[in-house]
Structure 1
């Protein structure tokens, strides 16, 4: 199984195990890496609910922030339910494929731009896993309706709009994408 297939498989299992009656309005993918090292990426797959958004609304006057900002996500949305990409099989597949792509580097080497390219490749893997959840019908089967997948990287917050737009049908992310146009401090 390729690294991308392994991430996709775990995401599929996680979403398949979500509680259908919890009012889940977004699947969350927190893109991260061990010690901020792109050679060791993972994605925390989780969710957030209408009840979570209602609680967050009491903490901010910004309705978009309360619903869509990872700063207000509950542990199931921020930490996720399960991590994909770091178990032994996926970690080994990632390294093998990174080496084959010429992206791997050792601790004593200058990464040049390989670290950025590794991070971009992993973002593509995560977008592909989210698309698969839609195309396979897994989200609808698990939750009873189409639901957006919000992808975010806490170390590159500007990327969340591009990644989320790429991972979802446009009609599912209109409300989320409205936050991209909102002024920031």
Structure 2
């Protein structure tokens, strides 16, 4: 199984295991892109969701955020949307199979390196950038491929919001690339690009 297939398999399982009581209120699936210890050799995806119930709770608070922020800004996501319900990727603790698969493919591509390897800082940065770009592209592809499964599980199409907290400017481009335009029209109203 390829790393891409593994991540997609975990994502499908995550969707199937969303709590039945939350499903009617889910308006977005969330893909938080991150790396263990902020090291691009160890990327992972936290798959989760957010609900209309959570947005209503935020907007009813004494000092509510802006409606767009409450709905789409990951800073306001509950644990189900921020931390996710399932992890897929190069995380030895939470996804050992994904970690092995990712490492094997990175070695094959000549992108893997160990801390003790004799590489310049520039070479490490270049490989890290390639690994990061590949993982972002993989996450976009997995999100695209999940739309049919999302509609089946949730009962209607909803967008997948992709975000990397350490590269927040990419959130709009990643999310736009991963979804049909009609699903992200409201989300994209705040796109600075």
TM-score, normalised to structure 1, is: 0.92
Query: What pairs with 1:8-87 in structure 2 (closer than 5 Å)?
Result: 8-22=8-22, 23-57=25-59, 58=61, 59-85=63-89, 86=91, 87=95
Query: What pairs with 1:58-137 in structure 2 (closer than 5 Å)?
Result: 58=61, 59-85=63-89, 86=91, 87-108=95-116, 109=119, 110=121, 111-134=124-147, 137=148
1 CA distance for matches of 2:104 and 2:34? 19
Unaligned runs of 5+ in 1: none
2 CA distance for matches of 1:49 and 1:64? 14
Larger Rg: 2
Give the corresponding residue for 1:171.
Answer: 182
1:7 to 2:7 alignment = yes
CA contact (8 A) 1:20 1:144 kept: no
CA contact (8 A) 2:143 2:179 kept: yes
Deviations 1:136-172 (A, max 9, x none): x210111000010000000000000000011111110
Match 1:148 to one of 138, 153, 159: 159
CA contact (8 A) 1:46 1:78 kept: yes
CA shift for structure 1 position 181: 3.7
Matched positions, count:
180
Deviations 1:8-65 (A, max 9, x none): 1000110122235520000000000100011111110000000111122234341110
4+ residue runs over 6 A deviation: none
TM-score, normalised to structure 2, is: 0.89
